[in-house]
Structure 1
Protein backbone atom coordinates (compact mmCIF):
# COMPACT_ATOMS: atom_id res chain seq x y z
CA UNK A 1 0.00 0.00 0.00
CA UNK A 2 1.38 3.41 -0.87
CA UNK A 3 0.78 6.77 0.77
CA UNK A 4 -2.11 7.66 -1.57
CA UNK A 5 -3.87 4.42 -0.52
CA UNK A 6 -3.35 5.41 3.10
CA UNK A 7 -4.92 8.83 2.45
CA UNK A 8 -7.81 7.16 0.61
CA UNK A 9 -8.58 5.13 3.73
CA UNK A 10 -8.34 8.23 5.94
CA UNK A 11 -10.71 10.13 3.62
CA UNK A 12 -13.18 7.25 3.64
CA UNK A 13 -13.06 6.88 7.43
CA UNK A 14 -13.58 10.62 7.87
CA UNK A 15 -16.55 10.74 5.49
CA UNK A 16 -18.16 7.81 7.28
CA UNK A 17 -17.57 9.32 10.74
CA UNK A 18 -19.07 12.67 9.69
CA UNK A 19 -22.08 10.98 8.07
CA UNK A 20 -22.73 9.01 11.27
CA UNK A 21 -22.20 12.12 13.41
CA UNK A 22 -24.93 13.85 11.42
CA UNK A 23 -27.09 10.75 11.93
CA UNK A 24 -27.53 9.85 8.27
CA UNK A 25 -27.74 6.29 7.02
CA UNK A 26 -25.81 5.37 3.90
CA UNK A 27 -29.02 5.54 1.85
CA UNK A 28 -29.71 9.11 2.97
CA UNK A 29 -26.28 10.31 1.85
CA UNK A 30 -26.74 8.47 -1.46
CA UNK A 31 -30.12 10.12 -2.03
CA UNK A 32 -28.95 13.61 -1.08
CA UNK A 33 -25.69 13.41 -3.07
CA UNK A 34 -27.06 11.63 -6.13
CA UNK A 35 -24.38 8.92 -5.83
CA UNK A 36 -25.08 5.20 -5.50
CA UNK A 37 -25.01 3.54 -2.07
CA UNK A 38 -22.54 0.96 -3.41
CA UNK A 39 -20.09 3.65 -4.55
CA UNK A 40 -20.32 5.60 -1.28
CA UNK A 41 -19.79 2.38 0.69
CA UNK A 42 -16.67 1.59 -1.35
CA UNK A 43 -15.32 5.12 -0.79
CA UNK A 44 -16.05 5.04 2.95
CA UNK A 45 -14.31 1.68 3.34
CA UNK A 46 -11.22 2.73 1.37
CA UNK A 47 -11.87 0.23 -1.42
CA UNK A 48 -12.13 2.88 -4.14
CA UNK A 49 -10.21 6.10 -4.70
CA UNK A 50 -12.90 8.75 -5.18
CA UNK A 51 -12.65 11.05 -8.16
CA UNK A 52 -12.23 14.71 -7.24
CA UNK A 53 -15.77 15.62 -8.42
CA UNK A 54 -17.24 12.72 -6.40
CA UNK A 55 -15.31 13.67 -3.29
CA UNK A 56 -16.30 17.34 -3.59
CA UNK A 57 -19.93 16.29 -4.12
CA UNK A 58 -19.88 14.28 -0.87
CA UNK A 59 -18.12 17.07 1.04
CA UNK A 60 -20.73 19.61 -0.19
CA UNK A 61 -23.64 17.28 0.60
CA UNK A 62 -22.34 16.91 4.16
CA UNK A 63 -22.15 20.76 4.40
CA UNK A 64 -18.41 20.72 5.07
CA UNK A 65 -15.77 23.31 4.28
CA UNK A 66 -13.29 21.74 1.82
CA UNK A 67 -10.16 23.15 3.49
CA UNK A 68 -11.41 22.10 6.96
CA UNK A 69 -12.07 18.57 5.66
CA UNK A 70 -8.47 18.15 4.47
CA UNK A 71 -6.80 20.06 7.32
CA UNK A 72 -6.20 17.12 9.66
CA UNK A 73 -5.52 14.43 7.06
CA UNK A 74 -1.88 13.44 7.21
CA UNK A 75 0.57 11.11 5.61
CA UNK A 76 2.73 8.67 7.49
CA UNK A 77 5.99 10.23 6.27
CA UNK A 78 6.83 11.32 9.81
CA UNK A 79 7.19 7.70 11.02
CA UNK A 80 9.55 7.71 14.01
CA UNK A 81 10.36 4.00 13.89
CA UNK A 82 7.35 2.67 15.82
CA UNK A 83 3.63 3.16 16.46
CA UNK A 84 2.31 2.13 19.88
CA UNK A 85 -1.45 1.58 20.02
CA UNK A 86 -3.20 1.08 23.34
CA UNK A 87 -6.41 -0.93 23.23
CA UNK A 88 -8.33 2.21 24.24
CA UNK A 89 -7.20 3.88 20.98
CA UNK A 90 -8.64 1.25 18.61
CA UNK A 91 -11.42 2.56 16.37
CA UNK A 92 -14.72 0.76 15.87
CA UNK A 93 -15.40 0.25 12.18
CA UNK A 94 -18.65 -0.84 10.58
CA UNK A 95 -17.46 -2.29 7.29
CA UNK A 96 -20.86 -3.49 6.07
CA UNK A 97 -23.69 -1.06 6.81
CA UNK A 98 -26.42 -3.67 7.27
CA UNK A 99 -24.40 -6.35 9.10
CA UNK A 100 -25.36 -7.49 12.59
CA UNK A 101 -22.89 -8.92 15.08
CA UNK A 102 -19.74 -8.17 13.04
CA UNK A 103 -17.71 -5.87 15.25
CA UNK A 104 -14.45 -4.77 13.65
CA UNK A 105 -11.87 -2.70 15.49
CA UNK A 106 -9.33 -0.86 13.37
CA UNK A 107 -6.07 -1.49 15.18
CA UNK A 108 -3.63 -0.13 12.65
CA UNK A 109 -3.47 1.00 9.07
CA UNK A 110 -0.02 1.76 7.74
CA UNK A 111 1.26 1.71 4.14
CA UNK A 112 4.14 -0.65 3.40
CA UNK A 113 5.33 -1.12 -0.15
CA UNK A 114 6.86 -4.30 -1.61
CA UNK A 115 6.67 -6.62 1.37
CA UNK A 116 5.57 -10.15 2.18
CA UNK A 117 3.80 -11.03 5.39
CA UNK A 118 4.43 -13.75 7.97
CA UNK A 119 2.13 -14.30 10.96
CA UNK A 120 3.18 -16.16 14.13
CA UNK A 121 1.76 -16.80 17.58
CA UNK A 122 4.47 -16.47 20.23
CA UNK A 123 4.06 -17.94 23.71
CA UNK A 124 6.52 -16.08 25.90
CA UNK A 125 7.26 -18.16 28.99
CA UNK A 126 7.81 -16.58 32.38
CA UNK A 127 11.32 -15.08 32.57
CA UNK A 128 12.20 -16.21 29.02
CA UNK A 129 15.57 -14.89 27.85
CA UNK A 130 16.90 -13.77 24.50
CA UNK A 131 19.26 -11.09 23.22
CA UNK A 132 17.84 -8.19 21.24
CA UNK A 133 17.45 -8.92 17.53
CA UNK A 134 16.93 -6.91 14.36
CA UNK A 135 14.86 -8.00 11.36
CA UNK A 136 14.69 -6.65 7.81
CA UNK A 137 11.25 -5.09 7.44
CA UNK A 138 8.49 -4.12 9.83
CA UNK A 139 6.85 -5.97 12.73
CA UNK A 140 3.44 -5.72 14.31
CA UNK A 141 2.72 -7.34 17.66
CA UNK A 142 -0.62 -7.71 19.42
CA UNK A 143 -0.65 -8.90 23.04
CA UNK A 144 -3.32 -11.60 23.21
CA UNK A 145 -2.71 -12.64 26.82
CA UNK A 146 -0.66 -11.42 29.77
CA UNK A 147 1.52 -8.36 30.34
CA UNK A 148 5.02 -7.79 28.99
CA UNK A 149 7.66 -5.12 28.64
CA UNK A 150 8.92 -4.54 25.12
CA UNK A 151 12.40 -3.11 24.64
CA UNK A 152 12.74 -1.25 21.36
CA UNK A 153 15.92 0.74 20.83
CA UNK A 154 16.19 3.16 23.76
CA UNK A 155 12.45 2.82 24.60
CA UNK A 156 10.74 0.30 26.87
CA UNK A 157 6.96 -0.10 26.56
CA UNK A 158 4.68 -1.74 29.13
CA UNK A 159 2.05 -3.70 27.20
CA UNK A 160 -1.17 -5.14 28.55
CA UNK A 161 -3.65 -7.53 26.98
CA UNK A 162 -5.05 -5.95 23.82
CA UNK A 163 -2.23 -3.43 23.29
CA UNK A 164 -0.29 -3.46 20.05
CA UNK A 165 2.99 -2.15 18.71
CA UNK A 166 4.09 -1.59 15.11
CA UNK A 167 7.76 -0.85 14.47
CA UNK A 168 10.72 -0.90 12.14
CA UNK A 169 12.30 -4.32 12.73
CA UNK A 170 15.76 -2.89 12.10
CA UNK A 171 15.57 -1.30 15.56
CA UNK A 172 17.04 -3.84 18.05
CA UNK A 173 14.17 -5.31 20.08
CA UNK A 174 13.14 -7.97 22.57
CA UNK A 175 9.94 -8.77 24.50
CA UNK A 176 10.34 -9.61 28.20
CA UNK A 177 7.95 -11.46 30.49
CA UNK A 178 8.83 -10.83 34.14
CA UNK A 179 5.53 -12.38 35.33
CA UNK A 180 4.70 -15.87 36.56
CA UNK A 181 2.10 -16.47 33.82
CA UNK A 182 2.87 -17.10 30.14
CA UNK A 183 2.19 -14.26 27.71
CA UNK A 184 0.79 -14.87 24.21
CA UNK A 185 1.73 -12.49 21.40
CA UNK A 186 0.45 -12.40 17.82
CA UNK A 187 3.45 -11.39 15.69
CA UNK A 188 3.10 -10.22 12.10
CA UNK A 189 6.29 -9.72 10.08
CA UNK A 190 6.27 -7.56 6.96
CA UNK A 191 9.45 -8.60 5.21
CA UNK A 192 10.70 -6.08 2.66
CA UNK A 193 11.24 -7.48 -0.82
CA UNK A 194 13.76 -6.00 -3.24
Structure 2
Protein backbone atom coordinates (compact mmCIF):
# COMPACT_ATOMS: atom_id res chain seq x y z
CA UNK A 1 0.00 0.00 0.00
CA UNK A 2 3.00 2.31 -0.21
CA UNK A 3 3.56 2.56 3.54
CA UNK A 4 7.17 3.21 4.46
CA UNK A 5 8.86 2.75 7.81
CA UNK A 6 9.15 6.17 9.47
CA UNK A 7 9.67 7.30 13.07
CA UNK A 8 6.39 6.80 14.97
CA UNK A 9 4.93 9.62 17.09
CA UNK A 10 2.98 9.11 20.34
CA UNK A 11 -0.31 9.67 18.51
CA UNK A 12 0.66 7.10 15.88
CA UNK A 13 1.60 4.63 18.60
CA UNK A 14 -1.82 5.14 20.23
CA UNK A 15 -3.45 4.73 16.81
CA UNK A 16 -1.62 1.43 16.32
CA UNK A 17 -2.82 0.19 19.71
CA UNK A 18 -6.40 1.30 18.95
CA UNK A 19 -6.38 -0.48 15.60
CA UNK A 20 -5.23 -3.68 17.31
CA UNK A 21 -7.90 -3.26 19.99
CA UNK A 22 -10.68 -2.75 17.44
CA UNK A 23 -9.75 -5.98 15.67
CA UNK A 24 -9.49 -7.86 18.98
CA UNK A 25 -12.89 -6.54 20.14
CA UNK A 26 -14.45 -8.14 17.07
CA UNK A 27 -12.46 -11.35 17.39
CA UNK A 28 -11.16 -11.02 13.82
CA UNK A 29 -7.90 -12.53 12.64
CA UNK A 30 -5.57 -10.48 10.46
CA UNK A 31 -6.82 -12.51 7.49
CA UNK A 32 -10.47 -11.70 8.25
CA UNK A 33 -9.71 -7.99 8.53
CA UNK A 34 -7.67 -8.13 5.32
CA UNK A 35 -10.66 -9.67 3.53
CA UNK A 36 -13.06 -7.07 4.94
CA UNK A 37 -10.83 -4.05 4.29
CA UNK A 38 -8.77 -4.89 1.22
CA UNK A 39 -5.58 -4.09 3.16
CA UNK A 40 -2.84 -6.74 3.15
CA UNK A 41 -2.22 -8.79 6.29
CA UNK A 42 1.39 -7.59 6.32
CA UNK A 43 0.37 -3.93 6.28
CA UNK A 44 -2.26 -4.55 8.98
CA UNK A 45 0.26 -6.29 11.22
CA UNK A 46 2.89 -3.58 10.75
CA UNK A 47 0.30 -0.84 11.41
CA UNK A 48 -0.95 -2.56 14.60
CA UNK A 49 2.62 -2.94 15.87
CA UNK A 50 3.47 0.72 15.11
CA UNK A 51 6.12 -0.34 12.61
CA UNK A 52 4.54 1.94 9.99
CA UNK A 53 2.18 4.88 9.94
CA UNK A 54 -0.87 3.91 7.86
CA UNK A 55 -1.76 6.08 4.87
CA UNK A 56 -5.06 7.97 4.70
CA UNK A 57 -6.25 5.42 2.15
CA UNK A 58 -5.44 2.54 4.49
CA UNK A 59 -7.16 4.28 7.42
CA UNK A 60 -10.21 4.93 5.24
CA UNK A 61 -10.44 1.23 4.36
CA UNK A 62 -10.08 0.25 8.02
CA UNK A 63 -12.71 2.77 9.10
CA UNK A 64 -15.10 1.29 6.54
CA UNK A 65 -14.45 -2.20 7.91
CA UNK A 66 -15.06 -1.01 11.49
CA UNK A 67 -18.12 1.09 10.60
CA UNK A 68 -16.78 4.40 11.86
CA UNK A 69 -15.59 7.67 10.41
CA UNK A 70 -11.93 8.63 10.36
CA UNK A 71 -12.79 11.50 12.72
CA UNK A 72 -14.25 9.05 15.22
CA UNK A 73 -11.20 6.83 15.04
CA UNK A 74 -8.73 9.69 15.38
CA UNK A 75 -10.67 11.28 18.26
CA UNK A 76 -10.22 8.02 20.18
CA UNK A 77 -6.45 8.37 20.05
CA UNK A 78 -5.76 12.12 20.03
CA UNK A 79 -6.00 12.79 23.75
CA UNK A 80 -3.24 11.50 25.98
CA UNK A 81 -4.75 9.23 28.65
CA UNK A 82 -4.58 10.31 32.26
CA UNK A 83 -1.44 9.00 33.91
CA UNK A 84 -2.83 9.03 37.42
CA UNK A 85 -6.01 7.28 38.57
CA UNK A 86 -6.76 8.29 42.16
CA UNK A 87 -8.21 5.68 44.51
CA UNK A 88 -11.34 7.80 44.95
CA UNK A 89 -11.89 7.72 41.16
CA UNK A 90 -11.57 3.93 40.80
CA UNK A 91 -14.94 2.32 40.11
CA UNK A 92 -15.93 -0.48 42.50
CA UNK A 93 -18.59 -3.05 41.64
CA UNK A 94 -19.90 -5.69 44.02
CA UNK A 95 -21.88 -8.81 43.21
CA UNK A 96 -23.43 -9.75 46.56
CA UNK A 97 -24.83 -13.00 45.17
CA UNK A 98 -21.36 -14.40 44.37
CA UNK A 99 -19.29 -12.63 47.04
CA UNK A 100 -17.15 -10.88 44.42
CA UNK A 101 -15.93 -7.27 44.53
CA UNK A 102 -14.10 -5.74 41.56
CA UNK A 103 -12.12 -2.47 41.65
CA UNK A 104 -10.99 -0.93 38.34
CA UNK A 105 -7.59 0.28 39.53
CA UNK A 106 -6.48 1.30 36.04
CA UNK A 107 -9.50 1.03 33.73
CA UNK A 108 -9.21 0.37 30.00
CA UNK A 109 -8.76 3.41 27.79
CA UNK A 110 -8.51 3.85 24.03
CA UNK A 111 -4.87 3.72 23.02
CA UNK A 112 -3.86 1.48 25.94
CA UNK A 113 -4.10 -2.31 25.83
CA UNK A 114 -3.80 -3.13 29.52
CA UNK A 115 -5.82 -2.58 32.64
CA UNK A 116 -5.36 -3.43 36.31
CA UNK A 117 -8.19 -4.88 38.39
CA UNK A 118 -8.30 -5.67 42.09
CA UNK A 119 -10.57 -8.56 42.97
CA UNK A 120 -11.82 -9.76 46.32
CA UNK A 121 -13.68 -13.03 46.84
CA UNK A 122 -15.48 -13.91 50.04
CA UNK A 123 -14.75 -17.28 51.69
CA UNK A 124 -16.40 -20.02 49.64
CA UNK A 125 -17.07 -17.73 46.66
CA UNK A 126 -16.93 -19.57 43.36
CA UNK A 127 -16.98 -17.71 40.02
CA UNK A 128 -17.08 -19.54 36.71
CA UNK A 129 -16.89 -17.90 33.29
CA UNK A 130 -17.79 -20.01 30.25
CA UNK A 131 -15.65 -17.92 27.86
CA UNK A 132 -13.48 -14.80 27.80
CA UNK A 133 -14.86 -11.46 26.61
CA UNK A 134 -11.99 -11.43 24.09
CA UNK A 135 -10.36 -14.74 23.06
CA UNK A 136 -6.62 -14.78 23.72
CA UNK A 137 -6.86 -12.21 26.50
CA UNK A 138 -3.57 -12.16 28.45
CA UNK A 139 -3.89 -12.17 32.24
CA UNK A 140 -1.40 -11.99 35.12
CA UNK A 141 -3.04 -12.82 38.45
CA UNK A 142 -1.10 -11.93 41.63
CA UNK A 143 -2.55 -13.03 44.97
CA UNK A 144 -2.11 -10.26 47.54
CA UNK A 145 -3.85 -11.88 50.56
CA UNK A 146 -5.46 -15.25 51.18
CA UNK A 147 -5.79 -18.32 48.97
CA UNK A 148 -7.28 -18.72 45.50
CA UNK A 149 -7.95 -21.72 43.28
CA UNK A 150 -7.90 -20.79 39.58
CA UNK A 151 -8.89 -23.19 36.82
CA UNK A 152 -7.64 -22.47 33.30
CA UNK A 153 -7.87 -25.01 30.46
CA UNK A 154 -9.15 -27.66 32.87
CA UNK A 155 -6.07 -27.31 35.10
CA UNK A 156 -6.56 -26.02 38.65
CA UNK A 157 -3.83 -23.98 40.32
CA UNK A 158 -3.82 -23.50 44.12
CA UNK A 159 -2.37 -20.03 44.76
CA UNK A 160 -1.27 -18.45 48.03
CA UNK A 161 -0.29 -14.87 48.91
CA UNK A 162 2.57 -13.73 46.68
CA UNK A 163 1.95 -16.30 43.94
CA UNK A 164 1.45 -15.11 40.35
CA UNK A 165 -0.27 -17.08 37.58
CA UNK A 166 0.18 -15.95 33.96
CA UNK A 167 -2.09 -17.22 31.19
CA UNK A 168 -4.08 -16.47 28.05
CA UNK A 169 -7.81 -17.06 28.17
CA UNK A 170 -9.20 -19.13 25.31
CA UNK A 171 -12.04 -20.93 27.08
CA UNK A 172 -13.72 -21.12 30.45
CA UNK A 173 -12.09 -20.08 33.72
CA UNK A 174 -13.00 -20.52 37.36
CA UNK A 175 -11.98 -18.54 40.47
CA UNK A 176 -12.69 -20.03 43.90
CA UNK A 177 -11.80 -18.89 47.42
CA UNK A 178 -11.17 -22.12 49.38
CA UNK A 179 -9.99 -20.48 52.59
CA UNK A 180 -11.81 -19.20 55.67
CA UNK A 181 -10.69 -15.63 54.91
CA UNK A 182 -11.38 -13.52 51.82
CA UNK A 183 -8.82 -13.57 49.03
CA UNK A 184 -7.61 -10.32 47.49
CA UNK A 185 -5.71 -10.30 44.22
CA UNK A 186 -4.47 -8.00 41.46
CA UNK A 187 -5.24 -8.90 37.88
CA UNK A 188 -3.36 -7.35 34.98
CA UNK A 189 -5.40 -7.76 31.79
CA UNK A 190 -3.79 -7.17 28.39
CA UNK A 191 -5.84 -7.18 25.20
CA UNK A 192 -4.36 -9.21 22.35
TM-score between both structures, scaled by the size of structure 2 = 0.40
